[in-house]
Amino acid sequence: MDNDTSEFLLWEFSKIREIQVMHIALLLTLFLITVTGNLVIIAAVVSDHHLHTPMYFFLMNLAMQDIGSVSVFIPKAIFNSLMNIRTISHSVAQVLFFLFFTGCDVSLLAVMAYDRYIAICNPLQYEMIMNRKACMKMVDSVWTASLLNTTLHTIVNFITPFCSNIINQFFCEIPYLLKIACSDLYVTKIGVLIFSVTLGIGCFSFVILTYVHVFSAVLRIPSVQGRKKAFSTCLPHLIVFSIFTFTSCFGYLKPVADSPSYLDFILTIMYSIIPPVLNPLIYGMRNKDIKSSVSRLFGQKLLLLKENELCVFLFLNFNRKVKKQT
């Protein structure tokens, strides 16, 4: 397959229509949960000025990145399954945007760990360290670093010729593109991939080291309730980040099988979809501030809807009375 070939042939999940429907239902459910949960968090943070703090600013950015990451490939995968299509154009966009949003997630979770470290270990200087300007610089650094890393992958991917057009996965994923690469650039691409994994492991090591200090500080809190609150905030973050890091590193570094594998499919789901699904549940729906903000937000909308319905009812009733009198 030459470098100018325009299409790849993706993995066919199953030839049985009932199983294909189950596959569609799974992806659609995960997609709707992710998008809905993250949109609710964004709306809550934007609408409530009490949530205009560094913690929720980072959370809102994480929600936007999660929506972006799942929107890159799930709608296309669902459409392909519905239409029973296996082909996808050799578009650099899907690879670029998926790596970009995933890289942003990893870096931002590391920044959020640092935010919790300052809040718990150095609370008196929190407002001075995590000021508005510092938070903006951190987020800008996250987006810039991810864009540079993604650009390296995209350039190498774009100039690499491929020996086959068969990808044993439900979207264009880097390890599967490496499998069918057929030039000396393969070594270069492996180097870029190792560089990305190293960055991911670096972020993971930073998070672990940060939480070692955080947990040490938490254990010194005299209040049992205070310790529980701190642990309930930090432990879920660490668990989700660990799942994402270990599954993605394993998925990217392990040899890709020559034939399609349901295990590879599950592994890809674990690092590409499950973290965006869990993030709003862990960081948002378990958070009292977010829940109260969402309640107020939807309560106001419900009240406005009822007021509009009442106005329509009174208007129609008034018109009927006017018609009777005339």
Kindly list the domain boundaries of the chain, sorted by start residue: 7-286
- Give residue 306's pLDDT: 45
The CATH number for 7-286, chosen from 3.30.70.3270, 1.10.3370.10, 1.20.1070.10, 3.30.365.10, is 1.20.1070.10
Per the rule left: phi > 0, alpha: psi between -120 and 50, beta: everything else, 279 is alpha
- Give residue 316's pLDDT: 55
pTM > 0.75: yes
CA distance 39 to 196: 29
- Alpha-carbon Rg of the chain, whole angstroms? 24
- Give residue 1's pLDDT: 42
175-to-101, 248, 302 alpha-carbon distances in Å: 17, 11, 48
Residue 270 CB-density burial (10 A; 0-12 exposed, 13-18 middle, 19+ buried): middle
CA distance 257 to 238: 30
Nearest to 58 by CA among 123, 98, 118, 124: 118
CA distance 63 to 227: 27
130-to-1, 59, 61, 136, 191 alpha-carbon distances in Å: 52, 14, 16, 10, 35
- Give residue 64's pLDDT: 92
- Give residue 285's pLDDT: 63
CA distance 284 to 281: 6
Nearest to 54 by CA among 121, 143, 136: 136
Q: Which residues contact 251 (CB under 8 A, 6 or more apart)?
A: 175, 264, 267, 268, 270, 271
Q: What is the pLDDT along the chain (326 residues), one digit of tens a residue?
A: 444 456 778 777 777 778 888 888 988 999 999 999 899 888 888 888 888 888 889 989 999 999 998 998 888 888 888 887 777 776 567 778 888 898 888 889 889 889 988 988 888 888 899 998 999 999 998 988 888 888 877 777 777 777 777 887 778 777 777 777 776 655 666 676 777 777 778 888 888 899 888 888 888 877 777 777 777 777 777 777 877 777 777 777 777 777 777 777 888 888 888 888 888 887 766 667 777 777 776 665 544 444 455 454 444 554 555 455 55
- Give residue 313's pLDDT: 46
Q: What sign results for the dihedral spanned by CA atoms 11, 13, 17, 22?
A: negative
Nearest to 116 by CA among 24, 247, 241, 237: 237
